[in-house]
Structure 1
């Protein structure tokens, strides 16, 4: 019989927890690491990533932090915290109609899309009394693949908070409050990528429309080449990529003249045009939207070896 990585990981973790008799800390850690590797693999996270705590949005602005909590075995709440603010779910304590063991509550957040939380146990292992063992599922991350939040959080709390000096480079996807067994207030949190983004090697993939691209926020990378002879030559532009909301390439062009009408899978062309001198911004237009490289939606590097590079984002619904 062939077991799924998620099921096999569960067996390994339960086996470690139920192990009778003395067991060396190194053997226990090795057992847990193998189980966690399978858990991370099952939800699309690679343990070789150099990312550390992927819920820290200041370092990972493409991520949001989903926090779930209970108090005295009830009062279920959730928060989604991104770089543009925090949204609270069940603030008044009355809108979570599945706040019981096995109840799956669905939510929608415009940054991460549809997601759900299920508290799958009561008085779960190492979690004290009350609703415990949350399962997080996100529509755009491997099509609702369950995240065993407490197991992922135990890896971080055991490695980094427990003070055993064995904290590795991660990625750490989830956390939980360190005094959970004695505290009636229980909180877990996980880093979840915004729709179409990735972090900690977990990727959110938004839906593709009938034109073949993921609408939302597109990004364009432009190289502007200086004039070889300013007295007679023109600037040149190269569009290395035009990416959709899933960061998939949907257009681009090799080095061309000082203006480009870029065709792609988008319904309209993206118009790009240089100015008259080096200090002038590059202008952009798409549909009824127009901006230039001095706009806050662009990041522009300095000229170096006869060229400068820039990245801009724009709405591409």
Structure 2
């Protein structure tokens, strides 16, 4: 009974752990979505020893439907990015600048080295754009 109440409380509070949201809560145009990411190198942008990311998720018509600013991700760990999509966008960081940034969405996987348009580091950061089916 306590587990059931806790689950309902989390659901009512809007928490999501990668499971789909109800169809009535979706507010995006499906098709080809995009995630634009600015990755800050370690010890840049006020964060020491970890990578920091600014993330913008857009739907098929380019409307911003989610994202995160100053999302800190430690070596070989992941973070979820909430949006209006039915699943979370997951970002995983490596330990050094040469390690690709990994992304996952609803079973699809792509990275800064495969499936994304990724620039080089300049002024302590680099930008990447990754398309995925939503």
User: What is the alpha-carbon distance in structure 1 between the residues aligned to residue 33 and residue 54 of structure 2?
Assistant: 17
Q: Report the RMSD for the aligned CA atoms in angstroms.
A: 1.6
Match of 2:101 in 1: 282
User: What is the alpha-carbon distance in structure 2 between the residues aligned to residue 286 and residue 220 of structure 1?
Assistant: 11
Give the number of the structure with larger relative contact order, counting CA–CA contacts within 8 Å between residues 6 or more apart.
Answer: 2
1:315 counterpart = 2:133? yes
Structure 2, unmatched stretches of 5+, are: 1-22
Instruction: Identify which of 54, 58, 61 aligns with 1:238.
Output: 54
User: How far is the alpha carbon of 1:274 from its aligned partner?
Assistant: 1.4
Structure 1, unmatched stretches of 5+, are: 1-208
User: What is the alpha-carbon distance in structure 2 between the residues aligned to residue 217 and residue 251 of structure 1?
Assistant: 15
Please say if residues 57 and 64 of structure 2, whose CA atoms lie closer than 8 Å, have aligned partners that are also in contact. yes
For normalisation by structure 1, the TM-score amounts to 0.32
Question: Which one has a bigger Cα radius of gyration?
Answer: 1
Please say if residues 237 and 260 of structure 1, whose CA atoms lie closer than 8 Å, have aligned partners that are also in contact. no
Please say if residues 110 and 116 of structure 2, whose CA atoms lie closer than 8 Å, have aligned partners that are also in contact. no
SS in 1 for 2:129: strand
The number of residues matched between the two structures is 104
Match of 2:31 in 1: 216
Match of 2:62 in 1: 247
